[in-house]
A and B are shown apart, each in its own frame.
Chain A
Amino acid sequence: METHDQLERWVHQRIAGAEPAAEWPDPADGWRHLDQRIARRSPHRPWLLAGATAAVCAAVLALPGPRVVAQRLWDQVVLGRIQVMLVDYSGDGAAAAFFSPDIYQRADARPVPSIEAASARAGFSPRLPGDDVFAVSPSYSVADITAARWQLRTPAIRYLFDQAGGSASEVPDSWNGAVLEVRAGPMIIADYNGVLLLQSLPFQLTKPVDFDLTLFYRIGFQVLGMNEQEARARSADLSLSPALLTVMPKEEHDLVYGFRTKSGAGVMIHEVYGPGKIVALWSGADRVYALYPDTREVTREFVMTVANALE
């Protein structure tokens, strides 16, 4: 009597008569076609989303090229809010350049098919406005962590502080070579047909143990032109309520608009990415948000509407 093995061998011999080459098909070809198809479905190609994410992170981590004077200092262990500080800075840019971090890990944003997939990938669930705020349903992407590092050089800080009228001896020797690191993300991006709503859990700052952030802020503010009394007051405030700090020159005050939401505060920065473009950054209960109009313009009122609809 015929066994099942014999029957199976007979069938497989017939099927194997039309065997494709062992290396067929090429997964790279398949992936390219799939990637194209995914990109066609998304309003923006993945590289565009990555670019937008990088741009928003850059708004937090370092201001873009035309405003090289405007720089930022850092923060605290958990950076749950965002604050812009206008300083009367008239230096030649050396201080600003000195305080620029090295963004050594840039976010790579990839589209995901659903809000569930976005949550799974990012590790948290996004908060979204009701259907009445945006007229369209969003598509989603998730950007990986963006990380920036800042290695301190005591001689340079002492020189700048001295130039600003401070006492170089206040800069501790232990700061030399110290590394501050900020990690932002993962970030969920909801794309409402050209207006990107980004959100992340609070950013994280890693600093050396016993590193005196209050002193660091004060010295930084003085280097950037703030008088000692004001610098002391501001740095003390920051030590009590950690914030991701954006420092901008006073002459650009007309571009910065602070606002409060139901559960936090934020700032809109005008014309950072082109005429009429507003980038808004704000914090909620346990989130950092950004609104980035990629292909459309938005008004201040609309930013407020979105911000208040999230918490």
Chain B
Amino acid sequence: MPEDAAADSFDFEAVFHRHYRRVARVIFRVIQDPSRAEELAVEVFWKLWRHSSAQGPHSGAWLHRAAVRTAVDELRTRARRERRERWFGFNAPSGDPEQAREAAEGQTRIRTVLATLRAQDAQLIALRFEGLSYEELAEALDLKPTSIGTMLRRAQESFRKEYVKRYGDA
């Protein structure tokens, strides 16, 4: 089937199988939680199912946009929840060496750093890592193609600055 073809021949199941893995991996890239990423990927396709206006030749871009927004929203919700739980003492830092080691692991680092960035910066970084071209990034995030290079570089610089500040240049 051609790229999502036209709306009048939209094959939802084929689109699902073509994009599901990438959608899930984009979400995973941001939240670093495979189980939750799978749940949210299904959620994204559920939204596509309900929005017939998104079903058509641009459904791929729509999915990328929805995936990365869903992921960043999830990340921020988690961060807020964790702050709230710390505030109320539900999850106070224990000083446990095992927990400290876990906190140092890559998944937590990425999640933590992305959560501090502007939403659009996190979205750009996650989608770019999944191999989207500048044109695809522009379409997915509804940005000007001519601005993508600059915006992506700024986002990546912000990521590095935050990462190095927290974990060093390792």
Q: Hey, which bits of chain A sit against chain B, CB under 8 A?
A: 4, 7-8, 10-12, 14-18, 20, 24-25, 27, 29-31, 33-34, 37-38, 112-114, 116-117, 120-121, 123
| Nearest A residue to B157, CB-CB | A7
Q: Mark B13-52, 1 if CB is under 8 A from A, else 0.
A: 1001100110011001100101001110110011001111
State in angstroms the CA–CA spacing of A33 and B36 once bound together.
Answer: 13
Contact in complex: B8, A14 (CB < 8 Å): no
Q: Which residues of B contact A121 (CB under 8 A)?
A: 8, 10
Distance in angstroms from A206 CB to nearest chain B CB is 24
Indicate whether A117 sits within 8 Å of B55 (C-beta atoms), given known contacts A4-B149, A15-B29, A29-B38: yes
Q: Which residues of A contact B105 (CB under 8 A)?
A: 18
Q: Which residues of A contact B32 (CB under 8 A)?
A: 18
Partner of B156, one of A7, A31, A34, A117: A7
Distance in angstroms from A306 CB to nearest chain B CB is 25
Distance in angstroms from B25 CB to nearest chain A CB is 7
Contact in complex: A30, B110 (CB < 8 Å): no
Contact in complex: A120, B8 (CB < 8 Å): yes
Contact in complex: A20, B52 (CB < 8 Å): no
Contact in complex: A18, B8 (CB < 8 Å): no
State in angstroms the CA–CA spacing of A17 and B129 once bound together.
Answer: 12
Distance in angstroms from A86 CB to nearest chain B CB is 42
State in angstroms the CA–CA spacing of A31 and B16 once bound together.
Answer: 8
B58 at interface, CB cutoff 8 A: no
Contact in complex: A30, B37 (CB < 8 Å): no
State in angstroms the CA–CA spacing of A18 and B10 once bound together.
Answer: 35
Q: Which residues of B contact A17 (CB under 8 A)?
A: 106, 109-110
Contact in complex: B157, A15 (CB < 8 Å): no
Distance in angstroms from A142 CB to nearest chain B CB is 11
| Nearest A residue to B167, CB-CB | A14
State in angstroms the CA–CA spacing of A33 and B38 once bound together.
Answer: 10
Contact in complex: A120, B45 (CB < 8 Å): no
| Nearest A residue to B163, CB-CB | A14
Contact in complex: B149, A20 (CB < 8 Å): no
| Nearest A residue to B114, CB-CB | A15
State in angstroms the CA–CA spacing of A114 and B51 once bound together.
Answer: 8
Contact in complex: B110, A14 (CB < 8 Å): yes
B144 at interface, CB cutoff 8 A: no
Q: Which residues of B contact A15 (CB under 8 A)?
A: 29, 110, 125, 129
Distance in angstroms from B15 CB to nearest chain A CB is 11
| Nearest A residue to B37, CB-CB | A25
Contact in complex: B28, A27 (CB < 8 Å): no
State in angstroms the CA–CA spacing of A120 and B10 once bound together.
Answer: 8
Contact in complex: B107, A18 (CB < 8 Å): yes
State in angstroms the CA–CA spacing of A11 and B105 once bound together.
Answer: 16
Partner of A30, one of B20, B28, B149: B20
Contact in complex: A31, B107 (CB < 8 Å): no
Distance in angstroms from B161 CB to nearest chain A CB is 11
Partner of B8, one of A8, A37, A38, A123: A123
Distance in angstroms from A46 CB to nearest chain B CB is 12
Q: List 18 A-B contacts (CB under 8 A).
A: A4-B149, A4-B153, A11-B160, A25-B37, A29-B38, A30-B38, A30-B41, A30-B45, A31-B16, A31-B20, A34-B49, A37-B42, A38-B49, A113-B52, A114-B52, A116-B53, A117-B52, A120-B10
Interfacial residues of chain B within 123-170, with CB under 8 A of chain A in the complex:
125, 128-129, 149, 152-153, 156-157, 159-160, 163
Contact in complex: B17, A27 (CB < 8 Å): yes
Contact in complex: A25, B24 (CB < 8 Å): yes
B7 at interface, CB cutoff 8 A: yes
Q: Which residues of B contact A20 (CB under 8 A)?
A: 25, 28, 34
Contact in complex: B16, A18 (CB < 8 Å): no
| Nearest B residue to A36, CB-CB | B42
Q: Which residues of A contact B45 (CB under 8 A)?
A: 30, 34
Contact in complex: A10, B42 (CB < 8 Å): no
State in angstroms the CA–CA spacing of A120 and B54 once bound together.
Answer: 13
State in angstroms the CA–CA spacing of A114 and B53 once bound together.
Answer: 10
In the complex, besides A11-B160, A18-B107, A25-B20, 12 extra interface pairs with C-beta distance below 8 angstroms are A4-B152, A18-B110, A20-B28, A20-B34, A25-B24, A30-B38, A30-B41, A34-B42, A34-B49, A37-B42, A113-B49, A117-B52
Partner of B16, one of A12, A24, A30, A112: A30
| Nearest B residue to A23, CB-CB | B21
Distance in angstroms from A17 CB to nearest chain B CB is 4
